[in-house]
Chain A
Amino acid sequence: MSQTMPRTRIDETFTRLRQQGRKALVAFITAGDPDLETSQAILDGLPAAGADIIELGMPFTDPMADGPAIQLASQRALAAGQTMEKTLAMVRRFRERDSDTPIVLMGYYNPVFVYGNERFLHDAKAAGVDGLIVVDLPPEEDDELCIPALNTGLNFIRLATPTSDDARLPKVLNNASGFLYYVSITGVTGTRAPDAGAVADSVARIRQHTDLPICIGFGVKTPEQAATLGALGDGVVVGSALVTTIAEARGKGGDAVAAVHELARALAEGLRGAAQET
């Protein structure tokens, strides 16, 4: 599928990183957390802090696949009045100064469906979004948003999990593009640490089915973990640790923007170490 659609910023990024022998730091934050202005400042500074790809969470009241950290991030954003239009406006503002760093919108289907699928895809593309991750749209529901997204020129990022066995993987990889998000644990985001040995086996198995870059996420918190897991794939996704930093900095009356960027910098450093080891 990726051959039939125009190359996106995501494709360009992985090509460049491979040339540089680097792994991608995929940084997740929830749009509007803890408020619109702070969230915009965090977003705008993430590339300079070392993020290669940004996942921007579309907040939802009922995030079934997320652990407490991202649930709370959603609640903070919604309490501060975040809407889909504001989330798309954040991407437009970001694009005024950064035309290279890919942005992937991540979330659940209902807010998209209610906004209107066609309108959403059009507005997201126009704002400068590169890809989508919609957690509750498995391949069985590709007609809903995945196919229309590909036709709009947006990558629809697939999640593979420890339950994606060899029988299931072809279904998951059909229509996959951009990169493959490997969910390193059976569980919700940010709850338990992945076992590097098991992840290595799974990634090796998935490599036999696809040439897509593989990013590993769902339990990566520290620069050391980023280094270990980064070495196994093409990048790591960090989310819960970043949004927890927002909550903690705010709780202490500290600077959430600086705290998040500092953690991103440390994670990027960790990943650079991983690249040198391989």
Chain B
Amino acid sequence: MNDQKPNTFTAQPDERGRFGDYGGRFVAETLMPLILELEQAWREARADASFQAELDDFLKHYVGRPSPLYFAERLTEHLGGAKIYFKRDELNHTGAHKINNVLGQILLARRMGKTRIIAETGAGQHGVATATACARFGLECIVYMGEVDVERQQPNVFRMKLLGAEVVPVSSGSRTLKDALNEALRDWVANVENTFYCIGTVAGPHPYPEMVREFQAIIGREAKEQILQAEGRLPDALVAAIGGGSNAMGLFHPFLDDEEVEMFGVEAAGRGLNTGEHAASILGGRPGVLHGNRTYLLMDEEGQITEAHSISAGLDYPGIGPEHAWLNDIGRVNYVAATDEEALEAFQLCSKLEGIIPALEPSHALAHVMKMAPRMDKDRIIVMNMCGRGDKDIFTVAKHLGVEL
């Protein structure tokens, strides 16, 4: 192969925040100056070695990075095909990959002199991570959460309150994650002076998709180094679950120019892609504009946003990060889906075989690994992002299995 890579996949977005035709800055005028200010501050921080050093220090001593790359030996034997490795971001402080991004944004907010942090949350993982970092730095924290999610994620609501955050239940629209995002944007418009909006995924107006990706790319950078150490070569496939897509983007991005590495983003097929009750924006949606960016969305023929469904509240969002939309269209990443049932099966198998209770989000990724690994030769390697732990999900799973706790 030619060493020159004129067609690199890692040079996006352009200066307008576009990944191909996706992304952009589709926000109300009130927010435009704030977004431009954020972009400027982010560029400066990124070029500042002391910012990166501070972030690295917190990632090491507060989060517990690097997270291990673990060979799932019994699962590999059970499936009888490719070797399966887990990138164990579920071992991070707060139990998921969300904290990687939150720490970066909170350090940036401090640098910008912002004193009030707002966030949206679905499953509550991003809310807990934000509340955690705000507690650590003594910042006011307000988390918007759909009423429906407040009800089904009580343990995380209580966690956020223990951490000193104010949790605001959102009763507008469909009362889930997309409405929490709307409400956070409304808060930001009303509190422009002192407030920093800490978005939890690789979506929203530029520069959020790029910035969040950069904070999450530590997952992929570590995984690359670790697999080279363990196997002496790059993996054949990467697999990660996709809601908004931040854990997947973080794992994939450092490998995008490694042509031999195939990538699979696993969307939530809910009760099935043909039932209309799913959260698969790419496989079951089409391009539109919402929450500041153009991307694939779940909507009706009039462009009205429809409700997503997934057993996993963290995947229950009717959109996806714009970089994924682009990677889909150019064919660099394969987007596939797993149903609620398949994720539940993977959840139980992983618990029993590996002694790791996965969150329902990576259980979707694991469900796809279960489909692909047996069809691959034994010398092939899969790296899957175990992006969250399942403690928060035991109530949901028990309910689906008909067990009363």
Interface residues of A (CB under 8 A from B): 60-65, 67-68, 71, 75, 78, 83-84, 108-115, 135-141, 158-165, 168, 172, 183, 185-188, 191
Which partner residue on chain B sits nearest A161 by CB separation?
A: B30
Q: Are A138 and B29 in contact (CB under 8 A)?
A: yes
- Let me know if A60 and B304 touch, CB within 8 A: yes
Answer whether residue B95 sits at the interface, using C-beta atoms and an 8 A cutoff: no
CA A115 to CA B304, docked complex, whole Å: 11
* SS of A interface (majority): loop
Please encode chain B, from 171 to 191, with 1 for each CB lying within 8 Å of some chain A CB and 0 for all others.
Answer: 011100011001001100111
Which B113-137 residues sit within 8 Å CB-CB of chain A?
Answer: none
Q: Which of B25, B174, B291 contacts A140 (CB 8 A)?
A: B25
Selected from B28, B299, B301, B302, the residue in CB contact (under 8 A) with A135 is B28
**B292 A136 Cβ-Cβ under 8 A:** yes
CB-CB under 8 A for A163 and B186, given A62-B173, A113-B288, A138-B27: no
A212 to chain B: closest CB distance in Å?
A: 15
Which A residues are in CB contact (< 8 Å) with B304? 60-61, 78, 111
Q: Is B289 part of the binding interface, using a Cβ–Cβ cutoff of 8 Å?
A: yes
Which residues 9-32 in B have Cβ within 8 Å of A in the complex?
Answer: 16, 24-32
Smallest Cβ-Cβ distance to A218: which chain B residue? B30
In the complex, A231→B33 CA distance in Å? 28
Interface centre among A60, A64, A75, A115 (most CB of B within 10 A): A64
Q: Identify which of A68, A163, A186 gathers the most chain B CB atoms within 10 Å of its CB.
A: A163
Q: Is the pair B33, A188 in contact by a Cβ cutoff of 8 Å?
A: no
- Provide the residues of chain A in CB contact with B173, threshold 8 Å: 61-62, 71, 75
CA distance A63 to B33 in the complex (A): 20
Question: How many angstroms between the C-alpha atoms of A161 and B32 in the bound complex?
Answer: 10
Residue in B closest to A168 when the chains form the complex, CB atoms: B33
Q: Is the CB–CB distance between A186 and B189 below 8 Å? A: yes
C-alpha gap A114/B300 in the complex (Å): 10
CA separation between A248 and B192, bound complex, in Å?
32
Contact B299 A140 (CB under 8 A): no
CB distance A191 to B190 under 8 Å? yes
B353 within 8 A of A: no
CB distance from B193 to the nearest CB of A (A): 8
The reply to whether B178 and A159 form a contact with Cβ atoms under 8 Å apart is: no
A75 to B30, CA, bound (A): 24
Contact among A64, A113, A114 with B182 in the assembled complex (CB-CB below 8 Å): A64
Q: Are B32 and A62 in contact (CB under 8 A)?
A: no
Given A67-B186, A141-B24, A161-B28, list of 5 further CB < 8 A pairs? A68-B172, A78-B304, A114-B301, A159-B30, A188-B190
Query: Is the beta-carbon distance between A187 and B302 smaller than 8 angstroms?
Result: no
Neighbouring B residues of A163 by C-beta, 8 Å: 29-34, 192
Cα of A135 to Cα of B26 in the assembled complex, Å = 9
B288: which A residues are within 8 A, CB to CB?
110, 113-114
Please list the 9 inter-chain residue pairs (A to B) with the smallest Cβ-Cβ separation, ordered nearest first.
A114-B303, A187-B190, A111-B303, A161-B30, A65-B28, A136-B26, A110-B303, A159-B29, A61-B304
User: B106-118 interface mask toward A, CB cutoff 8 Å, 1 = contact, 0 = none?
Assistant: 0000000000000
* Interface of B (DSSP majority class): mixed
* B283 CB within 8 Å of chain A: no
**Which of A78, A112, A135, A165 touches B33 (beta carbons < 8 Å)?**
A165
In the bound complex, residues from chain B placing their C-beta under 8 Å from that of A168 are: 32-33
Q: Contact: A109 with B29, CB < 8 Å?
A: no
On whether A164 and B28 interact (CB within 8 A), knowing A62-B305, A136-B292, the answer reads: no
Residues of B bordering A, CB below 8 Å: 16, 24-34, 172-174, 178-179, 182, 185-186, 189-192, 288-292, 294, 297, 299, 301-305
Decide: A188 near B189, CB < 8 A? Known: A111-B303, A168-B33: yes
Q: Contacts A65-B189, A115-B303 given: A141-B29 contact, CB under 8 Å?
A: no
Docked Cα-Cα span, A67 to B303, in Å, equals 21
Residues of B within 8 A of A71 (CB): 172-173
Residues of B within 8 A of A114 (CB): 288, 299, 301-303
Residue of A nearest to B37 (CB): A163
Bound: A75/B303 CA distance, A = 14
Interface centre among A61, A160, A191 (most CB of B within 10 A): A61
In the docked arrangement, what's the CA distance between A68 and B172, Å? 8
Beyond A61-B304, A78-B304, A110-B305, whether A164 also contacts B29 by CB under 8 A is yes
- B289 near A109 (CB under 8 angstroms)? yes
User: Are A161 and B29 in contact (CB-based, < 8 A)?
Assistant: yes
Pair B302/A160 contact, Cβ less than 8 Å: no
Which chain A residues border B27 with CB–CB below 8 Å?
136, 138
Question: Contact: A141 with B25, CB < 8 Å?
Answer: yes
Distance between Cα atoms of A187 and B34 in the complex (Å): 14
CB pair B30–A62 under 8 Å, yes or no, is no
Q: How far is the CA of A159 from the CA of B288 in the complex (A)?
A: 23
By a CB distance below 8 angstroms, the chain B residues around A161 are 28-30
How distant is the Cα of A168 from the Cα of B27 in the complex, in angstroms?
15
Q: How far is B364's CA from A24's CA once the two chains are assembled, in angstroms?
A: 57
A186 to B189, CA, bound (A): 6
Contact (Cβ within 8 A) A138 B28: yes
Please state if B303 and A172 are interface contacts (CB–CB under 8 Å).
Answer: no
In the complex, which residues of chain A have a beta carbon less than 8 angstroms from the beta carbon of B302? 83-84, 111, 114-115
B178 to A62, Cβ gap below 8 A? yes
A residues in contact with B292, CB < 8 Å: 136
Q: Which residues of B contact A113 (CB under 8 A)?
A: 288-289, 294, 303
Report B111 CB to chain A, min CB distance, Å: 20
Q: How long is the Cα–Cα vector from A235 to B303 in the complex, in angstroms?
A: 32
What is the CA–CA distance of A64 and B197 in the complex, to the nearest angstrom?
15
Q: Which chain A residues border B301 with CB–CB below 8 Å?
A: 114
B331 to chain A, nearest CB (A): 24
A132 to chain B, nearest CB (A): 14
Query: B361 to nearest A CB, angstroms?
Result: 23
Give the most central of A113, A114, A187: most B CB within 10 Å.
A114
Kindly list chain B residues whose C-beta atoms are within 8 Å of the C-beta of A186.
30, 189-192
From residue A240, how far is it (CB to closest CB) to chain B in Å? 14
| Chain B residues, Cβ within 8 Å of A108 | 289
List 8 A–B pairs whose Cβ atoms lie within 8 Å, in order of A's numbering: A65-B28, A110-B297, A111-B302, A112-B303, A114-B288, A140-B24, A159-B28, A165-B33
Least distance between B76 CB and chain A CB atoms (Å): 44
Looking at A62, A63, A135, A164, the one whose CB has the most chain B CB atoms below 10 A away is: A62
